[in-house]
Amino acid sequence: MEKLVVIGPYTDSMKKALARHLPDGIQMEYITSYEEYEKLSDADYLILRTLRLDQQHVEGLAKARLIQRWGAGYDTVDLEAAGKKNIPVAVAAGVNARSVAELTLVFMLALRRNLIPQAEAFRRGENRRTELAASSRCICGETVGILGMGSIGRLVAELTKALGAHVLYYDVIRMEEEKEKELGYRYGSLDEVLSEADIVTLHLPLLESTKGLIGKEALNRMKEGAVLINAARQELVQEEELAQALKEGRLSGAGLDEIAEPFAQSPFVGLDNVICTPHIGGSTVDIDDAMAQVCMEHIETIRAGKKLASPSLVNGSYLTL
Amino acid sequence: MEKFKMLWTGEYNEYWDKVFTENFILEKAGRAFPGANTATHRMTEEELVPLLEDKDIFLDGYDRVTESVLRRCSNVKMIMSIRDGPEESVDIEACTRLGVPVLFPGGRCMRSVAELTAALILLCAKPVIHQVNKIRNEGYNDSNKAEFAALNDEYFEVYGKTLGMVGLGRNGKELVKYMNAMGMKAIAYDPYCPKEAADALHVELKPLDDVLKEADYVVLAARVTPETKRMIGTREFALMKPTACFINTARSELVDVDAFVDALKTGKIRKAATDVFEKDPVTKVDIPLDDDHPYFSISPDKLIMTPHMAGYSVERTYTAYELLKPSYEGFLRGEKNIVIKNPDVFDSPAFAERGGKLFGIKG
């Protein structure tokens, strides 16, 4: 019997989905903390949601044939270490794109209208309606700057376009110009996107080259009163610098789906124009089934002796076989 | 061409101040002053009449135009309301009888309302407000991380879900366009919406009960009329799915408030968002609810409340005048195909003596 270790936490809905798609002949075990990592030593397959698989963890894997991420990001796994041991690392590309795009839309719409401060004040019995309405704007007619045109960025572009916004984007790989024209998107350099957009939204992977990308210089380029949305990885943004820009009123708000812990020491404490959520973007109950299915399909592929390819496989360049 | 005298009490906008100053002999009062956008006072008849009695045109913000005002200011030949629903400030029937056309900027709040409604739908689908508050109050650390991770089961996509519109006017149609793009399937109850208009937006028109039974998100986008008043009560909430969310950015009078509170408390529906309240805006615009109002007894996780702000945005002030312009220019050129609340005014015997004196004058 082969062994699959699922590294958690997982909700009931996720567990049900995983059980539904578990191939015959594989025994599934859940672990939720680093203390239980010894159970990984004889695992054939791993599925990882939160927690990390750093070099020392990867080196402890004796039998692993696949490290599968529950999600689209892969910065929590040491790709090189896994590659050296010939363990493929795979993601579920695109599965959570719609959930993340929808969350991005919530951030945009809520921030532009000061919706959460309005609702909070109302609950407290205060009326900030006219005060906050004076700076409340519609997305329609605004320029939405998208950094990163992967599956999430493209969906965000589609949804904001439907709201009547102008889409301006930057990606290392530009779309075909004909496609751009057809969709009505404009391509710009990183600087152009930062300086022309009313709303800047990040949909980039976390790489050496993108780490801390949004720092003092980038923030200074942004339009006065613009908002920043980060539903990707926290490390893309230099939090102290962003907090400073918000405190000085250079930016009017930020929506962040991941924040450095613990929040009690966060520079965003006390800023009511910042929406912080605990990296929930990719998670909705509606995609649990599809996510579990993709993870198990990848396991079946490896089990059948076949290979995974990009964009599912993310450490192909480190694999030695 | 002579210039007409106009009183302006609608929200101030710099660009339109210039346009109106060029085209009319303009007097500004109330909100029509720079920086006075926050004024919420509505003029009494005694305040209004002295300002209005020598004017030809009244570009009205939110000040009441009663039959008495119309009779005392008999020089007024045209009213332009900046409201999407001019009947909420202006006695339309009296205007028709006295021969005064009422022009209005249909769709002024369309985008603002549709965008806020979209935001509230998404906020019902995703408990973001709950998490924002929890992080603000408790921090974000190892002790509550697992609890947050478990919230996945309360996060939904709107993609593939059914949007049930009650009312499919301008605001409703605009919302449907957005939600179509997000992959929602729209159905609607609107006895006045032509089938072709609904078809064009891929909306299936259905009887009210079917809309309430099938929708995952029920959205009110209807006007208050004798026929729609309290149209959503105990029976209607009972028809909705227990997992449904109910969003009201239209008017509180459409809903039986006690039935609404009961539906949330007894789980007849999952969540709700309301931007409208019984007392607002007719009697009071500051704090529309008392602390002991039953809405405050409902958990913020179940009921999102915003202070009647759906129509508010910086853009809508500009948009209102932009939408009015073709109508008043058309009227002055003698066109009847304009956005007018009382098109039957053209047949009114009194029209010749009032509105008729401006109608077609620039034709």
Residues B188 and B277 in one domain: yes
Domain for residue B66, yes or no?
yes
CA A44 to CA A65: how far, in whole Å? 6
Residues B82 and B41 in one domain: yes
In the structure, how many helices (H) and strands (E) does chain A have? 12, 12
For the record, the structure tokens of B92 come out as: 């339309």
Domain for residue B202, yes or no?
yes
* Minimum distance, in Å, between the CA of residue B32 and any CA atom of chain A: 15
Average pLDDT, chain B: 92
- Positive or negative: CA dihedral A195, A200, A206, A212: positive
Integer CA distances (angstroms), A135 to A219, B107, B205, in order: 20, 21, 37
CA B16 to CA B72: how far, in whole Å? 28
Domain for residue B363, yes or no?
no
Domain for residue B222, yes or no?
yes
CA B151 to CA A135: how far, in whole Å? 32
Find the CATH number of the domain harbouring B191. Answer: 3.40.50.720
Q: Do domains A2-95+285-318 and A97-276 have the same CATH topology?
A: yes
Say what percent of chain B tops pLDDT 90: 79
Domain for residue B96, yes or no?
yes
Show which of residues 6-25 on chain A sit within 8 Å of chain B, judged by CB atoms: 9, 11-14
Integer CA distances (angstroms), B169 to A140, A185, B106, B145, B252, in order: 19, 30, 10, 44, 17
CA A72 to CA A50: how far, in whole Å? 12
User: Any idea which residue has 């060029």 for tokens?
Assistant: B22
Could you say which of B305, B325, B342 is where a domain stops? B305
Residues B212 and B189 in one domain: yes
Residues B102 and B119 in one domain: no
pTM: 0.89
Residues of chain A with C-beta less than 8 angstroms from the C-beta of B316: 138
Residues B288 and B236 in one domain: yes
Q: DSSP assignment, residue B222?
A: -
CATH assignment of A2-95+285-318, among 3.40.50.1370, 3.50.50.60, 3.40.50.720, 3.40.640.10: 3.40.50.720
Among residues A154, A233, A258, A298, which one is catalytic? A233
pLDDT at B286 over 70: no
Element (DSSP H or E) covering residue A246: helix A239-247
Q: Can A52 be counted among the known catalytic residues?
A: no
How confident is the model at residue A280, as a pLDDT? 86
The C-alpha R_g of chain A, in whole angstroms, comes to 21
Give residue-wise pLDDT tens across range B315-348: 888 999 999 999 999 999 999 999 999 999 999 9
CA B335 to CA A168: how far, in whole Å? 41
The answer to whether residue B284 neighbours chain A at the CB level (below 8 Å) is no
Residues B173 and B275 in one domain: yes
Q: Which of A97, A109, A91, A230 is nearest to A165 (CA)?
A: A109
Domain for residue B362, yes or no?
no
Domain for residue B35, yes or no?
yes
When divided into structural domains, chain B yields a total of 2
SS3 A144: strand
Residues B261 and B155 in one domain: yes
Q: Can A57 be counted among the known catalytic residues?
A: no
How confident is the model at residue B37, as a pLDDT? 57
Domain for residue B338, yes or no?
yes
Instruction: Look at chain A and count its residues.
Output: 321
Nearest CA in chain B to A125: B291
Q: Quick one: average pLDDT of B16-38? A: 89
CA B356 to CA A4: how far, in whole Å? 83
Domain range list for chain A: 2-95+285-318, 97-276
CA B89 to CA B82: how far, in whole Å? 10
State the pLDDT confidence band at B38, using cuts at 50, 70 and 90.
low
* Minimum distance, in Å, between the CA of residue A301 and any CA atom of chain B: 28
The CATH number of the domain covering residues in A97-276:
3.40.50.720
Say what percent of chain B tops pLDDT 70: 95
CB B61 within 8 A of CB B91: no
CA A281 to CA A258: how far, in whole Å? 9
The verdict on a CB contact (< 8 Å) between B309 and A118 is yes
CA A185 to CA A229: how far, in whole Å? 19
For A99, other C-beta atoms within 10 Å of its C-beta total 28
State the pLDDT confidence band at B150, using cuts at 50, 70 and 90.
confident
The verdict on a CB contact (< 8 Å) between B111 and A275 is no
Crossing angle of helices B314-333 and B14-23, in 10° steps, is: 20
Residues B247 and B123 in one domain: yes
**Domain, as residue range, for B324:** 4-108+314-357
Letter for the amino acid at B363?
G
Residues B296 and B339 in one domain: no
* Minimum distance, in Å, between the CA of residue B179 and any CA atom of chain A: 9
How confident is the model at residue B288, as a pLDDT? 56
CA A257 to CA A144: how far, in whole Å? 18
The verdict on a CB contact (< 8 Å) between B119 and A130 is no
**Phi-psi region for residue B17, left (φ > 0), alpha (ψ -120 to 50) or beta?**
alpha
Residues B269 and B232 in one domain: yes
Residues B82 and B139 in one domain: no
CA A152 to CA A98: how far, in whole Å? 7
> Which site among B121, B135, B301, B314 would you substitute to test the A interface, given the most A Cβ atoms closer than 10 Å to its Cβ?
B135
How confident is the model at residue B39, as a pLDDT? 60
Of A136, A139, A276, the CB nearest to B132: A276
CA A167 to CA A186: how far, in whole Å? 6
State the pLDDT confidence band at B281, using cuts at 50, 70 and 90.
very low
Phi, psi angles (nearest 5°) of residue B221 = -145, 45
For the record, the structure tokens of B201 come out as: 């937006």
Give residue-wise pLDDT tens across range B173-232: 999 999 999 999 999 999 999 999 999 999 999 999 999 999 999 999 999 999 999 999
The answer to whether residue A159 neighbours chain B at the CB level (below 8 Å) is yes
**For chain A, the helix, strand and coil percentages under 3-state DSSP, each to the nearest 5:** 40, 20, 40
CB B38 within 8 A of CB A134: yes
SS3 A9: coil
* Minimum distance, in Å, between the CA of residue B22 and any CA atom of chain A: 27
pLDDT at B2 over 80: no
**pLDDT tens track, chain A, 321 positions:** 999 999 988 999 999 999 999 999 999 999 999 999 999 999 999 999 989 999 999 999 999 999 999 998 899 999 999 999 999 999 998 999 999 999 999 999 999 999 999 999 888 888 788 888 888 999 999 999 999 999 999 999 999 999 999 999 999 999 999 999 999 999 999 999 999 999 999 999 999 999 999 999 999 999 999 999 999 999 999 999 999 999 999 999 999 998 988 888 899 999 999 999 988 888 899 999 999 999 999 999 999 999 999 999 999 999 976
How confident is the model at residue B284, as a pLDDT? 38
Show which of residues 127-166 on chain B sit within 8 Å of chain A, judged by CB atoms: 128-129, 131-133, 135-136, 139-142, 145-146, 148-160
Q: DSSP assignment, residue A220?
A: H
Residues B149 and B292 in one domain: yes
The answer to whether residue A135 neighbours chain B at the CB level (below 8 Å) is yes
Q: Which of A141, A133, A179 is nearest to A163 (CA)?
A: A141
